[in-house]
Amino acid sequence: MLRKTEEMLDRVAGLVSGALVLAIAAILLLQVIGRHVLEYPLPWPEEVAGFLFVWLIFIGAIRAYRSGGLIGIDWLIGKLPPVPRDLVRLSSDIVVILLLIGLIWTGIEATIAASGSRTTMLRFSWAWVYLAFPIGCGMLLLAFVSAFLRDAVDLVSRLSGRSNGNGPDDEGAP
């Protein structure tokens, strides 16, 4: 069940990220054609591309996290024996989960506050841009909760003397 949820989250984030990259490229190409070929710069493409880029950052963070692409300093953690390493991972997962819950709350408040203002060119609500923040953080929260559960299962397996066989460090497990 957990693995299927992770795969679905990864697939959705990948599809949305890919669609956003294509949309940004198409919009910017349209602007280049308008400005340099037709000599008529369109007033809206830069605004829309910027807003889509905000969404790409938050949705892309999920893909980056799931593929190990986010910055992490794990030199010290890698030097620890398996059980202390699992405890540190669980602790850091809890800190990140709490931080993400706070960020989601802040993002919802910011989205509500921005709902009354309009963008410059297209005049749509800024809430659509701000909404990327709580949605992206919510999806990242799901990924971290999944990692927390996986790390907790690893720790319980180590403590009970059973290895789950998920990693090369399982060889030295008690």
* Per-domain residue ranges of the chain: 2-165
Both tokens of 87, joined, read: 């405890």
What's the pLDDT score for residue 73?
65
CA angle 127, 131, 132 (to 5 degrees): 135
Q: Output 134 or 70, whichever has higher pLDDT.
A: 134
Sequence-distant (6+) residues with CB within 8 A of 14 are: 63
> Per residue in 39-77, pLDDT tens?
888 888 888 998 999 999 988 888 888 777 666 667 777
CA angle 99, 104, 105 (to 5 degrees): 100
Q: In this model, does residue 153 exceed pLDDT 80?
A: yes
- Percent of the chain predicted with pLDDT > 70: 89
The pTM assigned to this predicted structure is 0.74
- Counting other chains too, the contacts that 27-31 makes at CB distance below 8 Å and 24 or more residues apart are 27/52
> What 8-state DSSP symbol labels residue 118?
B
